Structure formats: C-alpha cells, structure tokens
C-alpha cells in the first residue's frame, strides 16, 4: 500500500486588445462618413499565439513527531524499544518519525514532462529501506519523471510509492496515526520501474507497472529489494481505480506478481489488495481493506536462511496470508475527528497458523491549517508460534525481547505541514 496536473492562459489581453482595436476603428469610420469619404481602416494586427502552458516548481513537506507509552514497560532490546509498528516503534522517548520534502514540477495540462522527488529523514527513513544495497537510496523515497498527455494519461519512470494498501507513508493522510500490521508485514512500500496510466473514463482509471521487485523484504541474503534487484526477473502490477459519479464511494483493486530475491532463494510472490471507501455524507467515512498474499520461497542448502531450520534444504516453502481491516471516521464539532480501525491477519505455513489482531482508536485535532494533533490508543494481540514466515512480533516486555503476546500503547503525535 495505495497508494494516486495545471494551466496558465496567455494571449487573452492581446485578443481583447485586437477586438477593441477593430471596434474602435469601425466607430471612428462611421463618425467621419458624413463629412468625408471613409478611409479604409487599418486591419488590426493578428493576435500573438498563446505562449506554451507551463507549471511552476512546488516545494511541500512535513515534520511528524510522536511520544509513545507502552504498557509492557519495555526496558530496551539492543539500542531500540520495539512495538512492531512501522514509523512509531520506539517507546518512552520523543521521536521524529518523518521529515519530508517534496520537490515537484507538474506536467503541463496541454501535455509534456513533469518531475517529482520525495526526500525523507527520521525513523521512517531506515524502516522503509530494510538494509543492504537499498540503504544507499533510503533518503530518496521517490524520484521519477512524468510524460503526460493532454487527455490525462501518462507514464512515470523512476522510483515511486507502491499502489498496494489502504494506508500511506504520510500519517496525516490516514484515519489513524499508527499503521496497520497489514501495512507493516504484508505490503511493500516502494518500487522502481515504469508505470503507465489511462485518462479517467467515467471515473475509471487503469494503471500498469513493470518494476524491478514487488517485495522490499530481505529473504535472508542480507539485501532487500526495490531499487536494487537480486536477479533479472521483473515484477508486474495492474490496478483499476473507480470513483462513482456521486463521489460517495470508490474502489481500488491492485494485483501483482514477481520472482524476487537471489537465484536459488527466489520468492514467487502473488499479491492482491482491495480497498473500498464510502463517504455517505460530509461527516462519515467508512473503509474496508482486504489483502491476500502468497509466497513460495526456495530454501537454499545453507542453514543461514530464515526458513532452513524448519524446512528441508533445497525444497520450497509456501506461505499464505490474508489480512482484513475495517475503518470508520466521524467528523465531530469544530476541528475534531475520531477514527477507529480493527484488523486481523491469518497466515498458514508448514502446518502452522500464526494470527494477529489489533484495535485502534484515534482522536484528531486539526489545530491550525498546518498543524494536526493526535491522541491514539492501540491494543494488539499476537497468536504466534516458533516459526512465522512474515515475522509477526512477540512484544517486548521488560527486558524480555519476546515476553508478551499482548500490547497496549498510547501515543501523542503532531504533524506540521508546509507548502501548497
């Protein structure tokens, strides 16, 4: 996950000037007709052609910080205190989750080239890029050029956020502050490649992707994927995005497949994601997310792989995960909103079925146009076993790295935005 252009008009004054010139000449000619033979009016100069449409550069970004209290009172494991969340994993210490700067130049409405890059820092920086060769690119989360047509269709080439998922990296665009476990454990964050999209046809937009890798996960080789690619296989993604004419509901279906990872340990991945948003009125928003992920990982002969301890070297290990999430947000009086999320992920692999459940409640206060404040309570419950292909956590409790299957957290956060 989910992952989603401007015109200047010139020549108007010249056209108006030409019209006035013609009208003025005609009036003067008629006034002089009774006194002397009319002199043919000098034709007005043709209007200058309109200058090519252009768009300005824009600079926009945010600062996202939080403080989180963990009821398990973690004492720290290594150098960090882990909740299992993406982007707000540290407890009992004020933390900068994300500092982001977007530099963009939209393609002209009449068609042409555009550009966008997203530069990031903070906790999100390292969490989005798990390690190895990907770490070299972790400060540049997006970097792509656009070739757009006047119709609205276009092509992007470069590194861009994934289309999978109901939630996005920037917390202020989500109903809740923290991200779901579906976002954290089942979905990629970004891809590198080409995406081509159609113009909107009665609310329907189709997008196709050819990318180096779908998964960003490390399969045990020491390298994640995204910009870097561990083999010559490509990933393919298709998406249909439909918004009803009334604007009261929208549905997005995204499906992709790839062979990620190094030769001899490839992950044959199939991933589908369905997102439905319903806004029956100005106060209420309902959301549903269904994610289905299937992995078939080749187990190398070495015991260094994550799955080698529980599977026969040289064999294939299959894993299947389904994730469900429901969202509801209500606009309260003034600048306040309340949002809820409930989710469950079920997995199956090697005869074992880990499961994770989570409930989240978030109170939002749009204190100013640029400042969003949030207070959030979250309850997580993990039913896991000794082997889990997707790495669900057993939560830190005291000095014990895997001391509790239950976690209750409270967080306070602030997001300051700037730019247009």
Distance separating alpha carbons of residues 341 and 328, to the nearest angstrom = 7
pLDDT at site 34 = 37
Distance separating alpha carbons of residues 378 and 214, to the nearest angstrom = 29
Distance separating alpha carbons of residues 226 and 15, to the nearest angstrom = 52
CB 161 within 8 A of CB 142: yes
How many degrees, rounded to 5, is the angle at CA 178 between CA 221 and CA 169?
Answer: 60
Distance separating alpha carbons of residues 64 and 127, to the nearest angstrom = 15
Q: Calculate what percentage of the chain has a pLDDT beyond 90.
A: 56
Break the chain into its structural domains and give their ranges: 57-418
Exposed (0-12), middle (13-18) or buried (19+): which is 183, by Cβ within 10 Å? Answer: buried
Average pLDDT by stretches of 10, the chain with 420 residues: 35 34 35 38 48 80 95 65 79 92 96 97 82 82 97 97 97 97 93 97 97 82 79 93 97 95 83 98 97 86 45 71 97 97 91 88 97 97 73 73 84 96
Say which residues have a Cβ less than 8 Å from residue 323's Cβ, sequence separation at least 6. 180, 181, 182, 186, 289, 290, 291, 292, 293, 343, 344, 345, 346
pLDDT at site 312 = 54
pLDDT at site 220 = 61
How many degrees, rounded to 5, is the angle at CA 89 between CA 336 and CA 395?
Answer: 115
State pLDDT tens for residues 45-89. Answer: 455 555 456 789 999 999 999 999 988 887 755 445 577 888 888
pLDDT at site 24 = 37
pLDDT at site 236 = 98
State pLDDT tens for residues 173-186. Answer: 999 999 999 999 99
Distance separating alpha carbons of residues 374 and 363, to the nearest angstrom = 6
Distance separating alpha carbons of residues 88 and 92, to the nearest angstrom = 11
Chain mean pLDDT for the chain: 82
CATH 2.40.160.10 fits 57-418, yes or no: yes
CB 260 within 8 A of CB 267: yes
pLDDT at site 41 = 43
Distance separating alpha carbons of residues 213 and 139, to the nearest angstrom = 19
Strands, E assignment, 150-283: 154-161, 190-197, 204-211, 235-243, 249-260, 267-278
Distance separating alpha carbons of residues 162 and 141, to the nearest angstrom = 11
């Amino acid at each position: 996950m989910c992952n989603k252009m401007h015109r200047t008009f010139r020549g108007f004054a010249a056209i108006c000037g030409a019209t006035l010139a013609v009208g003025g000449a005609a009036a003067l000619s008629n006034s002089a007709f009774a006194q002397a033979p009319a002199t043919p009016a000098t034709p007005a100069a043709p209007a200058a052609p309109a200058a090519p449409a252009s768009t300005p550069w824009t600079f926009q970004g945010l600062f996202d910080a939080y403080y989180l209290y963990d009821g398990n009172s973690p004492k720290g494991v290594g150098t960090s205190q882990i909740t299992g969340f993406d982007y707000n994993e540290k407890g009992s210490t004020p933390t900068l989750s994300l500092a982001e700067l977007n530099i963009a130049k939209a393609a002209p409405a009449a068609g042409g080239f555009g550009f966008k890059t997203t530069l990031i820092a903070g906790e999100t920086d390292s969490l989005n890029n798990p390690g190895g060769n990907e770490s070299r690119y972790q400060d540049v989360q997006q970097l792509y050029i656009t070739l757009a047509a006047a119709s609205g269709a276009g092509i992007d080439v470069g590194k861009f956020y994934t289309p999978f998922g109901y939630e996005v990296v920037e917390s202020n665009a989500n109903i809740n502050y923290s991200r779901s476990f579906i976002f954290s454990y089942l979905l990629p964050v970004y891809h590198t490649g080409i995406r081509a999209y159609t113009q909107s046809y009665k609310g329907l937009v189709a997008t196709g992707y050819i990318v180096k890798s779908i998964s960003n996960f490390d399969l045990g080789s020491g390298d994640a994927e995204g910009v870097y690619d561990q083999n010559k296989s490509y990933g393919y993604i298709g998406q249909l995005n439909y918004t009803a004419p009334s604007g009261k509901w929208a549905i997005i279906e995204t499906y992709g497949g790839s062979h990620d990872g190094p030769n001899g340990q490839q992950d044959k991945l199939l991933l589908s994601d369905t997102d439905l948003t319903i806004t029956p009125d100005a106060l209420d928003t309902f959301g549903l997310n269904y994610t289905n992920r299937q992995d078939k990982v080749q187990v190398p002969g070495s015991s260094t792989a994550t799955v080698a301890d529980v599977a026969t070297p040289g064999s294939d290990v299959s894993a299947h995960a389904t994730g469900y999430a429901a969202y509801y947000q209500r606009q309260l009086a003034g600048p306040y909103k309340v949002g809820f999320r409930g989710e469950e992920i079920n997995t199956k692999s090697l005869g074992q079925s880990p499961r994770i459940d989570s409930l989240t409640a978030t109170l939002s206060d749009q204190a100013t146009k640029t400042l969003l404040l949030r207070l959030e309570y979250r309850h997580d419950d993990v039913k896991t076993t000794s082997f889990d292909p997707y790495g669900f956590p057993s939560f830190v409790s005291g000095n014990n790295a895997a001391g509790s299957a239950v976690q209750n957290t409270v967080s306070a956060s602030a997001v300051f935005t700037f730019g247009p």
